[in-house]
A and B are shown apart, each in its own frame.
Chain A
Amino acid sequence: MTTLRRFLSPLLILAMILGSLPVAAAPQGAGNELIGTQAALQAERSSDARERIHEVLARDDVRQQLDAQGVDPADIEARVAALSDAEAQQMADQLDEMPAGASVVGALFAVFVILLVTDILGLTNVFPFTR
């Protein structure tokens, strides 16, 4: 058993190293690939590599946030994929503060009166009957 293990371990290590080589070699092989428009624009925007890594991680954040907001898990992947890098970053950083079309006003009486006045002044458009 020990001899077998002694024999197997170096083999396994070797296999794993070889297995990981193509991945490590990929950037070299890319010498023949054209630079994509997205990559070129991104490099123009942010020369900082850390910033670019941050943009990649942003999509993971958005996935989690959409899940927390009650989006059907089956829809999440396609929704995240349709976002641009900048949008994904924006959502990852500040989804909570973002305006979401069609929220409701906190129905406080004082607020009601203020909004009624501003509606009549033509500054807001909360109550249809003021028009």
Chain B
Amino acid sequence: MRNQASYPLRNARPAGVLLLVALALLLAGCASAPRLSDATAQKLPSRLLHDDVPFHAQRDYQCGPASLAMVLEHQGVDVSVDELIPRVFLPGREGSVQPEMLATVRRQGRIPFVIDNRFESLLTELAKGDHPVVVLQNLSLPAWPLWHYAVVIGYDRPAGELILHSGEEARRRESFRRFDATWARSDRWGFVALPPGELPTAIDAETAIEATADFERVQGAEAALPGWEALTTRFPNAAMAHFALGNARHASGDAQGAITAFQRAVARQDDLTVGWLNLGLTLREQGDTAAARQALERASALPGPWQEHAREALSALEASTTSD
């Protein structure tokens, strides 16, 4: 009997060890050191440090405002951590949430662009884009999260280390592997804060248009104008970018420029109702009734949410020409 009872015990120890090893392997397997593709590896310098990014040590839970102050100051925005705290910190959560981090950048006259969520894009942004990047990490495990904002200012590829202004430590070195494990838990979320007119290296047209439109909503068309110009240069085929540029020019009093932009928009996307509509309305303002009618007729012929609006504009045009 004694013999039988001790069997499970004798088997339990190796089983436990095996389980621990398996668990360790499993956990470690999730987080291997991130690798760069050969093409990217060749393009990027092996070491890089943005020495000119100021450091602000966080106090209490305020890594959000501190990170914002670092990137904004680097951009030449004159704003202190103390001014940023009431704009972004949530006392009830003892932290700052992502949408408000982006919103605060907008209030300071810079456009926040959320970067592509890959490790490669982060390094590319640092090197080619020449900007520090604010990242959100979960320093702990998903079950007991410890969310943290830090500013990535450089890297050292031979050493396999990233350099960050983080918490109370300036120029902290963190291995690629450990960093990527903690960054992956936020779905590799990070953003750059840029003045209107500059764009991140890795971004698609749609994301860039949304970011600029959101900025325009807060800061107005004139402030966003250089942003739209830059977008049409980077994405010459994006009809929406030309359309938005037309609107911003129109709002800034440049009607001729607006007409050119709207014409480019509809040349790229023939069924862009809003493009034809705004083109027609601007032409009418300029007294070019014949061209205005042509554009508005095109807009009224296209089905969609703006058709009704286009028909009204067309009948208003007809009414005013017959009364003249």
Residue positions of A touching B, CB distance < 8 A: 28, 30-38, 40-41, 43-44, 47, 66, 68-72, 75, 78-79, 81-84, 86-88, 90-91, 95, 98-106, 108, 111, 114-115, 117-118, 121-126
Query: Which residues of the other chain, B, contact A68 by a CB distance below 8 angstroms?
Result: 92
Top-6 shortest CB links A-B: A100-B95, A69-B92, A70-B91, A87-B99, A102-B61, A82-B103
Q: Are B107 and A78 in contact, with the CB atoms below 8 A?
A: yes
Known: A90-B99, A102-B95. A38 touches B216 (CB 8 A): yes
CB contact between B95 and one of A72, A78, A103, A118 (< 8 Å): that residue = A103
Q: Are B312 and A101 in contact, with the CB atoms below 8 A?
A: no
Asked if B118 is an interface residue, CB under 8 A from chain A, the answer is: no
A88-B99, A99-B147 given; 12 more Cβ-contact pairs under 8 Å: A34-B282, A35-B277, A35-B306, A36-B247, A70-B92, A82-B103, A91-B97, A102-B148, A103-B145, A115-B140, A118-B27, A125-B137
Residue of A nearest to B311 (CB): A31
Asked if B316 is an interface residue, CB under 8 A from chain A, the answer is: yes
Digitize B54-81: 1 where CB-to-A-CB distance is under 8 Å, 0 elsewhere: 0000101111100100000000000000
Q: Are A43 and B214 in contact, with the CB atoms below 8 A?
A: no
Could you tell me which residues of chain B, from 178 to 220, have a CB within 8 Å of some CB in chain A? Answer: 178, 181-182, 186, 209-210, 213-214, 216-218
Q: Are B86 and A28 in contact, with the CB atoms below 8 A?
A: no
Known: A37-B244, A70-B91, A123-B178. A102 touches B141 (CB 8 A): no
Query: Which residues of the other chain, B, contact A99 by a CB distance below 8 angstroms?
Result: 95, 97-98, 136, 138, 145, 147, 186
Asked if B287 is an interface residue, CB under 8 A from chain A, the answer is: no
Residue of B nearest to A91 (CB): B99
Digitize B26-43: 1 where CB-to-A-CB distance is under 8 Å, 0 elsewhere: 011011000000000000
Q: Are B95 and A121 in contact, with the CB atoms below 8 A?
A: no
23 A-B residue pairs with CB within 8 Å:
A31-B316, A32-B281, A32-B316, A34-B278, A34-B282, A41-B213, A44-B240, A69-B93, A79-B103, A84-B103, A86-B210, A95-B97, A98-B97, A100-B93, A102-B61, A102-B147, A103-B93, A105-B144, A106-B144, A118-B27, A122-B178, A123-B28, A123-B178
Q: Are A82 and B218 in contact, with the CB atoms below 8 A?
A: yes
Q: Are B96 and A102 in contact, with the CB atoms below 8 A?
A: yes
Query: Which residues of the other chain, B, contact A34 by a CB distance below 8 angstroms?
Result: 247, 250, 277-278, 281-282
Query: Which residues of the other chain, B, contact A101 by a CB distance below 8 angstroms?
Result: 61, 63-64, 67, 95-97, 101, 136, 147-149
Bound CA–CA A28/B98 (angstroms): 39
